[in-house]
């Protein structure tokens, strides 16, 4: 597959959670760029390209959680999980408690 990325990536496995059909579920952020991120979703539920994704990220050395909202641009099934790319459009640095409904 041809390289289509427009921004450099930093590889940094970072545990996170996404808001799925069963509430908050585990995922892993594998890459981050200026416009988005690569995520491994640990779920058996199918996630559809174009879906709005809410992520809750615990940043090391910070007391608050970072909430990220983005659009799932692509998704592939891999063994027992899904791997996808999210283009983010809102980041809340955790100054208040955020829920998916309030973002």
Q: Please compute the mean of the pLDDT values over residues 14-22 and round it to a whole number.
A: 91
23-73 pLDDT, tens digit each: 999 999 999 988 999 999 999 888 999 999 999 988 766 677 889 999 999
- Where are the chain's structural domains? 10-102
Position with higher pLDDT, 22 vs 11: 22
* Average pLDDT of the chain, as a whole number: 83
Is the full-model pTM beyond 0.85? no
* DSSP assignment string, the chain: -----SS--EEEEEEEEEEETTEEEEEEEEEE-SSEEEEEE--SS---TT-EEEEEEE-TT-SSEEEEEEEEEEEEEETTEEEEEEEEEEEE-SSS---GGG-
Confidence band for 10, pLDDT divided at 50, 70 and 90: very low
- CATH 2.40.10.220, domain 10-102, yes or no: yes
């Amino acid at each position: 597959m041809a390289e289509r990325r427009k921004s450099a990536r930093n590889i940094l496995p970072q545990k996170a959670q996404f808001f799925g059909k069963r509430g908050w579920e585990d995922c892993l952020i594998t890459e981050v760029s200026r416009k988005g991120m690569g995520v491994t979703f640990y779920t058996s539920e199918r996630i559809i390209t174009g879906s709005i994704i809410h992520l809750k990220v615990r940043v090391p050395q910070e007391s608050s959680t970072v909430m990220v909202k983005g659009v799932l641009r692509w998704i592939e099934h891999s063994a027992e999980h899904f791997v996808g790319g999210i283009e983010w459009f809102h980041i809340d640095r955790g100054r208040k408690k955020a829920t998916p409904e309030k973002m």
